[in-house]
Amino acid sequence: MTQKIDSLILSVPAVSPNISIEEVGEYFLKDEFKALLSIPVVEAGKPVGVVSRYQMMNIFIKLYGRELHGRKPVSRIMNVHPVTVSSDQSMEEASRYITRNIGFPITEDFIIVDDGGAYTGVGVVLDLLKAMEHQLVKHGKELSVAYNELKSSQAQLIQSEKMASLGQMVAGVAHEINTPLGYVRNNVELFRENQRQLSGLLGAHGLLLDALHAEDPDDELIMERLAQIKKWHRLDGQETETLFDDTFFGIDQIAELVASLKNFSRVDQAMADNISINECLDTTLKIAHNTLKQKVTVVRDYGSLPAIRCMPSKLNQVFLNLVTNSAQAIDENGKLLIKTFTKDSFLFVVVEDDGRGIPEDVLPQIFDPFYTTKPVGQGTGLGLAISHQIVEEHGGAIRVSSRVGVGTRFVIRLPLDGAPAQHTLVAGG
């Protein structure tokens, strides 16, 4: 809500142009004019000028000033171009006009008229300044609220971009789990059948033993029970062993997939020490496996990296964005190289694909928010913008080089001594 200038109106009586300068001098001594620098001069309801304390002083100070000029009408000395604003103007508008037109040093107040131009009162510049300052403070507050909102909505944007890509990935991983789950469940079913066989066999053996141990062994009964034992299938010990191995393998794999999801989705955005970037990359690749396996061969070329201080869940998001982009740039039989190494006091992560590549005129725009070449619904165009931001928050940099038809290489550089403290994060809200 903008404030109007009329809140500053002081409805002081005006003087007529015919009134003598001497009389005006008396007016200035009256209580109602004490706070004013000037007195408005009005004729037929309309302001025609303004006379200031300063002018009066100039006259009275002079030798015989009062005697020489005191009787003259005020119209002889008044400023006939008083600064006048209309009461329905906003504070900003009025103050802009007033500051532009009022003389310095300030010796007059300004006049406020209604929309018909009739005199309604005066305003004091000092009041105006105070009001403006008040507004500025208020605006400042609004601004900082807006800024905070913006910051948190950006954080939300990051979060929702993450949730969206994560959602896809989770679906992928959930399905990935179904394969080990499938054979593990089936194997357990087989073990149960085997187990039934075994107990049947054991029972038959028991009966045979009973027959053998009898006081007076009955050959016929023994033969019969032997025959029964033979009827049970032979279990293939080797195969059972393999199926057990597979089962444990499958269970481990399920556990790993679940762990990778947990690592990846770490809700805490916090800085953590001792993070292995190579492990982060492995987690990401595991999560993206489902997107990749159809058409991409992944080559990992990890250097030995010291653990660093960073926000792993955010960096995972960056890696996932890069890997997903690469996968989407590859039509079939592609190669994705993930390479890490250190140099000087930096750590580098290279994500390089032999996909479509990025045309030269597109390249400068790819980090822009919402820039995407993908069909509606497929890409938000936020992936790289957010990745860029996250890497910067880590005090690092991200660079790209690409050639159409050859491939694309992204290089991320992170400081080995961890993210600088002043880059504290836009945490979620």
130, 343, 374, 403: which one contacts ligand ATP (CB under 6 A)? 374
Indicate whether 355 belongs to the interface with ligand ATP (CB under 6 A).
yes
Q: Report the residue number, 109 or 354, with the smaller CB distance to ligand ATP.
A: 354
Tell me the one-letter amino acid at 202.
L
Q: Using a CB cutoff of 8 Å and minimum separation of 24, what contacts does 64-70 make?
A: 66/22, 66/25, 69/21, 70/20, 70/21, 70/22, 70/25
Is residue 40 helix, strand or coil?
Answer: strand
Which residues, including other chains, have CB under 8 Å from residue 58's CB and lie 6 or more apart?
65
Based on the shown chain and the rule CB under 6 A, indicate whether residue 65 belongs to the binding site for ligand ATP: no
The correct pick among 135, 168, 186, 342 for binding another protein (CB under 8 A) is: 186
Site string for Mg ion, 353-392 (x = CB under 5 A): ------------------------------x---------
Q: How far is the CB of 327 from ligand ATP (least distance, A)?
A: 9
Residue 358 as a binder of ligand ATP (CB under 6 A): the answer is: yes
CB-based contacts of 107, cutoff 8 Å, min separation 6: 37, 38, 52, 53, 54, 55
Q: Name the burial class of residue 219, with classes exposed (0-12), middle (13-18) and buried (19+) by CB atoms within 10 angstroms of its CB.
A: exposed
Cα end-to-end span (Å), the chain: 27
Site map (CB under 8 A) of another protein, residues 146-185, x = contact? -----------------------------xxxxxxxxxxx
Q: How far is the CB of 179 from another protein (least distance, A)?
A: 5
Chain centre to alpha carbon of residue 1: 29
Stretch that binds Mg ion, among 120-128, 233-241, 323-331, 352-360 (CB under 5 A): 323-331
Strands, E assignment, 206-333: 272-275, 296-302, 308-310
195 binds another protein (CB under 8 A): no
Burial of 411 (0-12, 13-18, 19+ CB in 10 A): middle
Q: Residues 294, 304, 345, 422: which binds another protein (CB under 8 A)?
A: 294
Binding ligand ATP (rule: CB under 6 A), the pick from 94, 158, 311, 329 is: 329
Candidate residues 71, 151, 293, 399; the one interacting with another protein per rule CB under 8 A:
293
Q: Is position 242 an interface residue for another protein (rule: CB under 8 A)?
A: yes
Provide the sign of the torsion angle of the four alpha carbons 318, 320, 321, 327, taken in this order: positive
> Residues interacting with ligand ATP, by CB under 6 A?
321, 325-326, 329, 353, 355-358, 366, 371-374, 379-385, 408
